[in-house]
Structure 1
Amino acid sequence: MSDSGPDHDAARDAFARDDRLRLFAFATAEKRADYLWVLRAFDQARANYVVLLRAGEVAETLVRLAPDQPAGRLAPNEITPLLEQLHLWGVLERSYDGSRVATLAEYRNRHFVYQFSQVGYQAFRAVEDVLGARLDEVSLSRLALPDLLADLVELAAANRAADGDLIYRKLRRLDDTLTDLASRAAQFYLTLGELVRTTEITPESFLSHKDALLTHMREFSSDLARYAPKLAEAITGVEATGVERLIARAAASDERVMLPIDERERDWAARWAGLTQWFTAVESEVSESDRLREGTMNAIAAVLTLLRRVTETRRGGVSRESQLRHLAGWFAAAPTEDAAHALFQAVFDLGRPRHLSTVHPDADLIPDSRSWWEAPPVEISRTLAETGRPASPGLPGRVQRNDASIRRLRERQLAAQRARAAAASSLAAGGAYDRTLDEEETEVLLSLLNAALTARVTVSGSVRSSTGSENGVRLTLSQHETSTTVQTSRGRLHLDRLKLSVQ
C-alpha cells in the first residue's frame, strides 16, 4: 500500500513548514537574549573559520563579545541547556567529540560539540538583519541602471559566443541587481509615504533635507527615463541571439546540481521574463520601469505638498505641539474639576462610547443622547458581550454577479487601451507639428506633456529639458528660441519658448 498521494504530499509540506518555523522559536523564547548571544558567538567563530564549538568555548567567546551583558557572565554548565534547546529547535547540529576525551570519566560524560545547521544559520541571519536594519538608510539605486545596460550587452555577446559559464554569471548578476533595485525602490517609497502621512514631522529636520530628497528623486527619474529605452533595446538584442539557447546554456552551467535540469530551465525562464517585463511593455500594458517613474513623479508632488504644508505651519505659528500646549494651559487654568471635565468632553467627545452599538428597549424613555454614565444599564446579548459583534440573523444572501456587464466593461476597457496605443504610435510616426492632431492623439499628447512638466522640478538652477513616456512613446520637452504651436482637434496649443520631440 503506497503512502503517496495529494493528501500525503500536503501533510508532508505542512510538517516541513512547521519544522522550519520552529527555527525562529529562539527569537520569542523567555531567554531570547541569551539564545541570541550564544548564536552570535557561533557566528563570530564562523567568521574566524571555526565551525565546531563546545560549551566552554562558547563561554569564552561570550566574555569577549558581551562583557557588559548578562550573557557574558554565563558559565559553561549554564550554556549547555541553551545549546541543547537550540539543537532541539534545529538551529544547531550536535555531534560527539571523542578526540578530546582524556579520561574514562570524560568519556562517560559525553562531550558534545555544536555547529550551525544550514537552515539554522539562515534563520539567525534573518533575525540579525531585522535587528540591525536602519530605516533611515533607504535610497533609490540610480547607479544600478548603467550596470544593467552593460551586463545586457555582454550577455548578448556571450550568447553569440556560446559561453555558458559567462551567460550564467551575467544572468545571476542581472537578477541580483534588478532585485536590489526593486527592493530599494519599494522601501524608499514606503518610508517616504510614512513621512508624508505622519503628523509628528519636525519642520527643521525636513527642511534641512528637502533639497537633497528632491534632487535624489529628480536624478533617479531622469536617469530612468534616459536608460529605459536603451535597456529595452539591449533586451531586444539579447532576444535576437536566441532566448531558448540562452536559457538552456544558463541552466547547464547552473551550480544547483540538486535541481533537475528542467526545473533549472523553468527557473531561469521565469527570471528572464521578469527582467523583460520590467523594461518592455507587453501589448498595451505599462512596463514596470514606467510605473516606477510615474511613482517617482507622484512622490515628488507629494513632497512638494508636504513642503508647502510645513512652510505654512511655520509661517502661521500653529502646529500640533502648539495646540496641545494651549490645551494643557486651559486644563491647568480650569477653575473647578467640573469645568475641566466639561472641557475634556468638548475636546475629545469621549463621554458617550459607541463600541457596543445597542439602544434601550424604550427609546423614548432612555434616548441615545444620554451619557452612559447617567443612563441605566442595557441588557445585551451573549454574542455581543463576547465578540463585540451583534448576533447575526443568519448567513448573508448570495451576491448576484453580472458577468455579462463585467465582460462588456472589460472589452470596452481593452478597446480604449488599444485605441490609445494606436494613437501613441500614430503620434510618434507623424510628429506633433505640420498637421492637425485628432482627438485620440491630442489625449496622448496632453498626458505626455503632463508627465514631462511634472518632472520639471527645480531645486536649484534651471531645467533645460524633461521627458515623458507612455505606451513606448517618448516625448522630450526642450527650450527653444521662439514659441511653437501644435494644431489639435481642440484648437491651437501654444508652447512658450518650448519645443516638442516625439519618438
Structure 2
Amino acid sequence: MGAATAFLQEDRLKLFAFTVAEKHNEYLWVLRAFDIARANYVVLLHAAEIADTLARHAPEDARLTPTDIAPLLEQLHTWELLERSYDGSRAATLAEYRNRHYVYQFSQAGYKAFRAVEDVLGARLDDASLSRLVLPELLADMHELAEANRQADGDRIYRKLSRLDSTLSEMATRAAHFYLVLGDLVRTTEITPESFLVHKDALLTHMREFSSDLTRYAPKLAEAIAVVESTSISTLIERAAISDERVFLTIDERRADWQARWSGLSHWFVAAEAELSESERLREGTMSAIAAVLSLLRRVTETRRGGVSRESQLRHLAGWFANTATEDSAHALFHAVFGLGRPRHLSMVHPDADIIPASRSWWEASPVEISRTLAETGRAPSPGLPGRVQRNDGGIRRLREQQLAAQRTRSAAARSLASVGVYDRTLNEEETEVLLSLLNAALTARVRVSGRTSGSTGSDSGVKLTLTDSEISTVVRTTRGRLHLDRLQLEVADVTRR
C-alpha cells in the first residue's frame, strides 16, 4: 500500500468519528433527520428544520433545539459528513443577511458512512440463509443477455449485466454470512444445545437443497456463459459501457469496469486450469458444513443420551478437587487431568553476584534473564557448531566483471584524452568523467603563493593532466555542456609511454 493510499484511508476514517464521540446519540439523530428528509426529496436543511424533524420522529430524550443542533452541525461539517452553504433567502433583515444563515446537506462520503453505521445497527445477525432461488433467475438472465447481444440492444445488455452482477454479489454475501452464523452456532452449541436442536432439521434441509440446486444449475450456467461469449464478449462489453449511465467515468473506465465484472462472473461458474470455480468451492463448503453439522448433531445426541455434558463434567471435576484428602493428591489429579508437567528447577549465578548472593531465594531476588535452552532442557546453552558460510560466487563474479568493464572503459577514455586532446572537439560521457576527476585532483593541489598560483598536476588511469596559467580563458566542450576555464590551459599526457 502506497503512502498516498494510506493517507487517503486514514483521512476517510474521520467520517466515523461521530460514533465514538461523547454525544454520539445526538450526532446519530441529527444524521437520521437528514436521511428522513432525503427520503422526502429534501436535500438542504437548516438547524430549525432538523429540530422540527426530530420533534416528529425522534423519541422524547433525543429531541433537540436549534441552539443545541448548531454546534453539532458544525462538528459534522468538520468531520466532512456534511457540506455547508449559505442561504440568503432566509434573511428578513440586513443584519440577518450578514449573519449568513447556514444550510447543510450530506456529503457523498458522509452519506455512505452514515448508511454503513445504520446497516450495522439495524442488522439481524441471526438472519442468514443461502439464496438458492436466484439460480434459475441467473440462468434466464444469461440466455436473455446472449439474445440482447445478438440484437445489438445496448440498453438491455446494460440492464441484464447490472442485474447479474448485483444478484451474484448478493448471493456471495449471503453465503459468507450464512457460514459465519453457522460457525458461531457450532462454537456455542455446547453451552446452549437447545438452540441447535430446535433448528437442526430445517438447517440440514436448507443446506442440502442449496447444494442440490447448485450442482444442478452450475453446468447449465457454465454453458450459458459459453453461449454469451460466443456472441462476441468484446462487443457486449463495448455496448454495456456505452449504455452505462455513470457520466463521471470515461468510456475507457466504464469498459474496464464491465470487463472486470464479467471476468468475475464467468469465474464463478467456469473453472480455470488447475483451479476450482467459485460455485465448486461453495458446493464443497456446503458439503463440509453439512458433515460438520451432522457430526455436531451426533455429539449433542450422545451427550443428551448419556446425561453427561461439558458442564456436568466440570462440576464432577470440581467435586473431586474439593474432596481430595491431601494437597499432593490434588496435584496428582491436576497433572492427570490437564497433563501439565512439574516446574523445572534452575540454578545459576546472578549477574550482580556481589550484591545478590547465590544463597538468596529466587522469590526474594530480583528477576534475571535466562536462556530458552536452559528453561526448556535444564542445560546451559552452548555456542554450537559454527554456521556455514554462505557464498554467492555467481554474484561476486558478476560484480567483478562489472568492475573490470568499468576500469577498461575508464582507461580507454583516459587514453583518448591523452592522444586526441581536450580542445577542438566534444568529449563523450566517459571522457568527461575522467577529465573532471583529473581536474579535481589538480585543483586540490594548487596552492596560493604570493598572490599567484603555481601550476599543478593530477593523474588517473595512466594519464597525467597538467594545469598551467594562460593569458586567455579556454573552453572544453563536453556532452554535459561547456567547461569554461578562467585563464587556465589543460594538457593531458600518457605517462605509460615515457
Question: Which category of TM-score, normalised to the shorter sequence, fits these structures?
Answer: 0.5 to 0.7
3-state SS in 2 of match to 1:213: helix
Poorly superposed stretches of 4+, deviation over 4 Å: 9-15, 324-331, 333-336, 341-349, 351-354, 357-360
In structure 2, the CA distance between the partners of 1:10 and 1:220, relative to structure 1 (3 Å rule), is closer
What do the CA deviations read for 1:459-503 (whole angstroms, capped 9, x no partner)? xxxxxxxxxxxxxxxxxxxxxxxxxxxxxxxxxxxxxxxxxxxxx
Please state if 1:220 is matched with 2:207: no
Q: Which residues of structure 2 form unaligned runs of 5+?
A: 351-360, 373-382, 391-498
Give matches, 1:79-94, under 5 Å: 79-94=69-84
Tell me, in whole angstroms, the C-alpha distance in 1 between the residues paired with 2:223 and 2:212: 18
Tell me the residue number matched to 1:20.
Answer: 12
> 1:10: how far off?
5.6
Which structure has more relative contact order (CA 8 Å, sep 6+)? It is 1
Please state if 1:361 is matched with 2:361: no
Tell me, in whole angstroms, the C-alpha distance in 2 between the residues paired with 1:359 and 1:379: 13
In structure 2, the CA distance between the partners of 1:335 and 1:23, relative to structure 1 (3 Å rule), is same
Tell me, in whole angstroms, the C-alpha distance in 2 between the residues paired with 1:342 and 1:61: 68
Q: How many aligned positions are there?
A: 365
Tell me the residue number matched to 1:192.
Answer: 182
- Structure 2 residue corresponding to 1:137, chosen from 115, 118, 127: 127
Tell me the residue number matched to 2:220.
Answer: 230
Tell me the residue number matched to 1:375.
Answer: 363
| 8 Å CA contact 1:165, 1:253 repeated in 2 | yes
In structure 2, the CA distance between the partners of 1:199 and 1:380, relative to structure 1 (3 Å rule), is farther
Amino acid in the other structure paired with 2:203: L
- Structure 2 residue corresponding to 1:252, chosen from 242, 247, 256: 242
What do the CA deviations read for 1:245-291 (whole angstroms, capped 9, x no partner)? 01111111111122221221111111111111111122342221111
Tell me the residue number matched to 1:53.
Answer: 45
Give matches, 1:21-420, under 5 Å: 21-69=13-61, 71-72=62-63, 74-198=64-188, 200-326=190-316, 361=348, 375-380=363-368
3-state SS in 2 of match to 1:136: coil
What do the CA deviations read for 1:10-50 (whole angstroms, capped 9, x no partner)? 66544433332221111122222211111111111111222
Overall identity of the aligned pairs, in %: 69
3-state SS in 1 of match to 2:126: helix
3-state SS in 1 of match to 2:103: strand
> 1:376: how far off?
3.4
Amino acid in the other structure paired with 1:38: V
In structure 2, the CA distance between the partners of 1:138 and 1:161, relative to structure 1 (3 Å rule), is same
> 1:199: how far off?
5.4
> 1:381: how far off?
5.8
> 1:108: how far off?
3.9
> 1:352: how far off?
11
Tell me, in whole angstroms, the C-alpha distance in 2 between the residues paired with 1:348 and 1:98: 79
In structure 2, the CA distance between the partners of 1:358 and 1:33, relative to structure 1 (3 Å rule), is farther
3-state SS in 1 of match to 2:104: strand
> 1:104: how far off?
3.5
3-state SS in 1 of match to 2:174: helix
> 1:362: how far off?
5.5
What do the CA deviations read for 1:185-210 (whole angstroms, capped 9, x no partner)? 11111221232233544222211110
What do the CA deviations read for 1:404-448 (whole angstroms, capped 9, x no partner)? xxxxxxxxxxxxxxxxxxxxxxxxxxxxxxxxxxxxxxxxxxxxx
3-state SS in 2 of match to 1:93: strand
3-state SS in 2 of match to 1:52: coil
Tell me, in whole angstroms, the C-alpha distance in 2 between the residues paired with 1:308 and 1:242: 53
> 1:294: how far off?
1.1
| 8 Å CA contact 1:23, 1:123 repeated in 2 | yes
Tell me, in whole angstroms, the C-alpha distance in 2 between the residues paired with 1:358 and 1:58: 71
3-state SS in 2 of match to 1:95: strand
Tell me, in whole angstroms, the C-alpha distance in 1 between the residues paired with 2:286 and 2:117: 31
Tell me, in whole angstroms, the C-alpha distance in 1 between the residues paired with 2:319 and 2:71: 57
In structure 2, the CA distance between the partners of 1:223 and 1:335, relative to structure 1 (3 Å rule), is closer
In structure 2, the CA distance between the partners of 1:231 and 1:358, relative to structure 1 (3 Å rule), is farther
In structure 2, the CA distance between the partners of 1:14 and 1:296, relative to structure 1 (3 Å rule), is closer
Amino acid in the other structure paired with 2:20: T
> 1:347: how far off?
10
What do the CA deviations read for 1:208-262 (whole angstroms, capped 9, x no partner)? 1100000000000110111111101111110111111011111111111222212
| 8 Å CA contact 2:185, 2:196 repeated in 1 | no
| 8 Å CA contact 2:335, 2:341 repeated in 1 | no
Tell me, in whole angstroms, the C-alpha distance in 1 between the residues paired with 2:11 and 2:274: 45
Greater CA radius of gyration, 1 or 2? Answer: 2
| 8 Å CA contact 1:360, 1:378 repeated in 2 | no
Q: Which residues of structure 1 form unaligned runs of 5+?
A: 1-8, 364-372, 385-392, 401-503
Amino acid in the other structure paired with 1:375: W
In structure 2, the CA distance between the partners of 1:123 and 1:207, relative to structure 1 (3 Å rule), is same
3-state SS in 2 of match to 1:379: coil
| 8 Å CA contact 1:195, 1:201 repeated in 2 | no
Tell me, in whole angstroms, the C-alpha distance in 2 between the residues paired with 1:321 and 1:260: 63
Tell me the residue number matched to 2:460.
Answer: none
In structure 2, the CA distance between the partners of 1:13 and 1:189, relative to structure 1 (3 Å rule), is closer
In structure 2, the CA distance between the partners of 1:379 and 1:284, relative to structure 1 (3 Å rule), is closer
In structure 2, the CA distance between the partners of 1:106 and 1:273, relative to structure 1 (3 Å rule), is same
